[in-house]
Amino acid sequence: MDPRFEARRQEMLDSAVCPPDLAAEVLGELDEFLQPFVQSLAEPEQQTHTREYVRGLVSSLESKTGEGIAYRHGQDRQGLQKFLGQVPWDPRPLIATLATQVGERIGEPDAVLVFDPSAFPKKGPKSVGVARQWCGRRGKTDNCQVGVFLGYVSRRDHTWVDFRLYLPQEWTGDRTRCREAGVPARTKFRTRHELALEMLAEHGAKLPHGWISGDDEMGRPAQFRRELREKNERYLLAVPSNTLVRDLEVDPPAYAGRGRRPERPFVRVDRWHAALPASAWTRIDVREGTKGPLEIEAVQRRVTAKLGRSAGPEECLVVTRELQSDGPFK
């Protein structure tokens, strides 16, 4: 585990208290919880193995492998291992059930759908989707798998709902490699943003929401933001500092009297906000912190971002900077 998280993990473990009778209560309600999920599995044997496997995951087994769980139930390991790794089954109905439950139990009209691409370091060429690509956990390009996750956040609670495994073009273009790894033959290359739009189309109606959010990887393509607008979705997406924008609230260059009227220039976001006068910023007290109030400054402008060789639709750009301990805002 990353050393940065080890201390926090230990704090959580030290504070975790589980009454002895809690496991018995959970197991008593487990079948009721699993029922809507196992109903989507066609074979009675699959339904049985699902219940056995989940019971094993919440058991006192130290090593929760398929083999260990099978032996705990007094069975041969092959049946459960084949169910987990070889027998084909479609996870989409189970995920659809989960999305429905999330929307019904913690849904709110102004909740937020969060799209988050995350990388997992992985060695070897056989694991599906492994390639040399940016790995945020290691802060560099490395061998890893990347998943695009859909989260749901409301005032009542938050949870993950779905994910898609990203397959780089070096995978989808190599049919032999895909076949050996068990990737369906009809799988085509899709960008991470196309995977996010797939999940939005599949679950958006079941998950009441008012906003879509994501980091600067999700917000980078102006085309993705444009597609969200076309779907009447409101979004708050981070963008990289080198994003080119045209400030619609400043006067365009003077017209020389001939030819086309000059447009406002496109400027990198970091250079644009660095040139703003102090009067353009609004100071906001966010909350009290351990070392005094947490203060930020913010500016909001109507802009268009560069989309290919033209300008994209009008958007609202919000930039914030935080008061540093040594005085200036950054």
- 69-115 pLDDT per residue, tens: 988 888 888 888 888 888 888 889 999 999 999 999 999 999 999 99
Average pLDDT of every residue of the chain: 89
d(CA 79, CA 70): 8
- Strand 310-322 versus strand 140-153 pairing type: unpaired
User: How many other C-beta atoms can be found within 10 angstroms of the C-beta atom of residue 147?
Assistant: 16
Q: What is the pLDDT of residues 36-69, one digit of tens each?
A: 999 888 888 888 889 889 888 888 788 888 888 9
The residue ranges of every structural domain in the chain are 18-85, 92-237, 244-253+260-322
Q: Of 10-14, 229-233, 240-244, 275-279, which gets the smallest average pLDDT?
A: 10-14
β-partners of residue 251 are none
H-assigned helices in 191-326: 192-203, 216-219, 222-230, 269-274
Q: What is the pLDDT of residues 135-159, one digit of tens each?
A: 888 889 999 999 999 999 999 999 9
pLDDT score for 262 = 82
Which position has the higher pLDDT, 246 or 290?
Answer: 246
pTM of the model: 0.84
Q: Which fold has domain 92-237?
A: Nucleotidyltransferase; domain 5 (3.30.420)
Give the H/E segment covering residue 26: helix 22-38
d(CA 237, CA 211): 10
Average pLDDT of span 279-299: 85
d(CA 248, CA 237): 19
